[in-house]
Amino acid sequence: MAVEASKVPQITLNTGDKVPCIGMGTFGSDRFDAKQVSEAVAGGIRAGYRMFDCAACYGNEKEIGEVFQAAFDEGIVERKDLYIMTKVWNDMHREVEKSCRKSIADLRCDYIDLFYIHWPFPNYHAPHCDVDSRNPDSRPFSVKEFMDTYRQCEALVDKGLIRHIGISNMTIPKLNAVIGQFRIKPAACELELHPCFQQQEIFDYLRAHDIQPVGYMPIGSPQRPERDMEPEDIADMQVPEFAAIADKYGVHPAIIALKWAMQRGQIPIPFSIHNYEANLEAAVTEPLTEEEMNIIATLEKNNRLVKGQVFLWPGADDWHALWDEDGVIVDCTDA
């Protein structure tokens, strides 16, 4: 069942712009090809989605662009109706405008609404790599390098190529090192958020600084790439307290995860090739009760699913080094 786009609640960004409270992700998790993803996007537009989260490294922007163009040509939507997000990949941090222009051309969208720095360092890995892959040129976070990339994004705003800047996969120590240096404040920060990985501290930090949290993997991503799977990972949707709430409403636990996310205040960006209509309907159907929200708040289990091992630099101990868990930026020499 399609949802009338105007009925989807909106969130106001720090720019004053209003955006949908839910978007559609486009990462196929190395399991779905560009054709399958673009077909889901086409269905998503017809279902009522108006926000789409893309990325150069997903390898499907050209196909998604064909879908956008067809929707424009058929009069289903106008460009102004869509909020299109994409990201500069790690190997293009010194050529941000080139990356942006290619995404605009591939997505056939004239401009980007929100352009993220996908990861806060230029540590590149090849598509479909395994968990043990390492790039010998990888290095720790650098304030100078990050701000150079960010300044290039600010220039893209000045040129009208992008409307808003986003950051992604940040930590509080990294944010503290750069937040006073922005000329144009980031509108959003994309980060992993789901019921068993709520990241309350950085969530509160972003809200306090008027930066909108955008949550990827909002249902715990059971279809994530194998390189991101570990035996100790928790399946959010199978936690008994969570499943009990879903049973009460007679819905899949994924719908409860999305309701929780939206009511909490983050923008979830689920991807599905089959269930995208039901995911969107979660925005306009019965909300969770305060008691149910409180129960889900107790399900935090520090269940990080995207460890990021492939981004480690020589000499780093393990994936924990990427996330600054002791309150300092690991191996950073210019913070």
Residue 335 lies in a domain: no
CB 292 within 8 A of CB 115: no
Question: Whole-prediction pTM value?
Answer: 0.95
Q: In the structure encoding, which two tokens stand for residue 58, read together?
A: 């997903």
260 in a structural domain: yes
The terminus-to-terminus CA distance of the chain in angstroms comes to 51
| Long-range contacts, stretch 235-238, CB < 8 angstroms, 24+ apart | 236/194, 236/195, 236/196, 236/197, 236/299, 236/303
CA distance 152 to 160: 13
The verdict on residue 333 lying in a domain is no
What three-state secondary structure class fits 311?
helix
Please choose, from the candidates 150, 141, 165, the residue with its C-alpha nearest in 3D space to the C-alpha of residue 93: 150
274: Cα within 13 Å, side-chain hemisphere: 3
Q: Please, are residues 199 and 192 in contact by the beta-carbon 8 Å criterion?
A: yes
Q: Is residue 229 part of a domain?
A: yes
Task: Write the CA distances from 300 to 54, 109, 241, integer angstroms.
Answer: 28, 39, 12
58 catalytically annotated: yes
Across-strand partners of 24?
52
The answer to whether residue 334 sits within a structural domain is no
Residue 169 belongs to a domain = yes
Can you list the residues of the chain whose pLDDT is less than 70?
1, 29-30, 127-128, 221-231
Domain presence at residue 332: no
Helix (H, G, I), strand (E, B) or coil at 188: strand
pLDDT at 102 (0 to 100): 98
Give the pLDDT confidence score for residue 253 in this predicted structure.
Answer: 94
Domain limits at 19? 5-321
Instruction: Give residue 225's pLDDT.
Output: 59
Residue 327 lies in a domain: no
Rounded to whole angstroms, how far apart are CA atoms 316 and 313?
6
Q: What is the pLDDT of residues 65-119, one digit of tens each?
A: 999 999 999 999 999 999 999 999 999 999 999 999 999 999 999 999 999 999 9
In sequence order, which residues have a C-beta less than 8 Å from that of residue 282 and are 6 or more positions away? 22, 255, 258, 259, 262
Would you state the pLDDT for residue 137? Answer: 84
Task: Find the CATH number of the domain harbouring 151.
Answer: 3.20.20.100
Q: Which amino acid is at 1?
A: M
Catalytic residue among 49, 58, 116, 216: 58
Number of domains in the chain: 1
pLDDT value, residue 335: 85
How far from chain centre, in Å, is Cα 32? 18
Angle in degrees, 0-180, between the axes of helices 61-73 and 34-47, rounded to the nearest 10: 30
pLDDT digits (tens, 9 = 90+) for 179-201: 999 999 999 999 999 999 999 99
Concatenate the DSSP letters of all residues of 58-95 into one string.
Answer: GS-HHHHHHHHHHHHHTTS--GGG-EEEEEE-GGGTT-
Secondary structure E strands in 169-309: 188-192, 212-216, 267-268
- Assess contact for 64 and 52: CB atoms under 8 A: yes
